[in-house]
Amino acid sequence: MISNSVEETIGIGSRLAKRLKRGDCVALIGELGSGKTVFTKGIAKGLGVRDVRYINSPTFVIIKEYKGRIPLYHFDLYRVDKSTVLDSESFEEYFYGDGVAVIEWADKIRELLPKKYIEVRLSVAGESKRRIEIYGRP
């Protein structure tokens, strides 16, 4: 689908979130500026996070947690590279936990992702347009 604005991208994320359940994992893939964090704001909105204005990229801490009707675990792996040692056990507690894990730059840890996850590919389709492709359940 094509989003023509930030608001539409948030709306698409919010609609997806209404179908998510505890333990779901959403893998976001796309280049810088493709709308991954904006899409995450939409998921947060759909999960009942109170003030999505505070959802931002957790680039320096890797993960941020937000409370909603279902907790949101927001990962940003932009600064993770091949030389970074990742503790797969610490990821697993979020991937199979009580909330929904949303992972920006998920392609960097594809081998650590759960067997079943939702992949969202975002790409720039124009100045304010974004192409959003969703694969997997739901």
The residues that bridge with 74 in the sheet, in sequence order, are 64, 102
Contact by Cβ (8 Å): 58, 94: no
Q: Distance (Å, rounded) from C-alpha 79 to C-alpha 25? A: 20
**Which CATH number covers residue 10?**
3.40.50.300
**DSSP-based three-state secondary structure for 64:** strand
**Per-residue tokens: 30:** 């796309």
Name the residue type at position 134. I
Domain span at residue 120 reads 2-135
Residue 111's pLDDT is: 85
Lateral strand order in the sheet of 72-76: 2-3, 130-135, 118-124, 25-29, 100-104, 72-76, 63-66
Residue 17's pLDDT is: 97
Please write the tens of the pLDDT for every residue from 59-103: 667 788 999 999 999 998 887 765 454 555 567 788 888 999 999
6 sits in which H/E element: helix 6-17
137 pLDDT exceeds 70?
no
**Per-residue tokens: 132:** 């959003």
Residue 82's pLDDT is: 52
| Number of domains present in the structure of the chain | 1
Residue 83's pLDDT is: 45
**Per-residue tokens: 45:** 């909105």
Residue 48's pLDDT is: 93
Please write the tens of the pLDDT for every residue from 20-62: 999 999 999 999 999 999 999 999 999 999 887 777 776 667 7
91 sits in which H/E element: helix 88-95
